[in-house]
Amino acid sequence: MERTLVLASTSPYRQELLKRLGLPFETASPDIDESRKEEEEPEELVMRLSLEKAKAVATDYPDALIIGSDQVATIDDEIIGKPGTHERAMEQLRAASGNDVVFLTGLALYDSATGRSHTICEPFRVDFRTLTEEEIDDYLRREEPYDCAGSFKSEGLGIALFSLMDGEDPNSLIGLPLIQLVSMLRENGVQVLGGS
């Protein structure tokens, strides 16, 4: 692969996902304001932030393909973010109990040499079982998912919270829709399989 590939994220979850593709890449920390604009829909928010993250690191990489991604979780179209604390995580999982939570993951691929970009929003729905206070507390103490939108890690013990998962790419739930990313990279001349 000739072009430099950059992940505009310091998320260890996104880095681990991107490593699965076996392509060399660099990481950079985008410094942007992630505030939601007035009346901005969740889908618009994650797509805008994904592209802004990619563009934010472009000055350091003038000839690169830059990947930006952003994710929100929603219950009844209300955004729930990263809890940060045990108490807030308890509140989030109480709200999720017996409900479905839709995760919206924005993905942008930005070509810093040409200024062209491709941005999508990948939805993924998770139906939660009805959870007891004891189950919620035990889960949070064991996994401590306080830096994860929605207060769980689907790739870990969080799977025990669900009754159903519905979406095209389970990787999007972790934070990077790899199926769409492979397609975007291919359109930009980067072959994950069969390339030189």
Task: Copy the structure tokens of residue 127.
Answer: 């139906």
- Burial of 32 from C-beta contacts in 10 A (0-12 / 13-18 / 19+): middle
| H-type alpha helices, 20-106 | 42-56, 86-96
- Using alpha carbons, select from 128, 142, 17, 143 the residue that is nearest to residue 71: 17
Q: Is 70 a known active-site residue?
A: yes
- Going by C-beta distance under 8 Å and a sequence separation of 6 or more, which residues neighbour residue 143? 152, 153, 156, 157, 158
40, 33 Cβ separation under 8 angstroms: no
Catalytic residue among 70, 111, 137, 169: 70
Could you give the residue numbers annotated as active site? 70
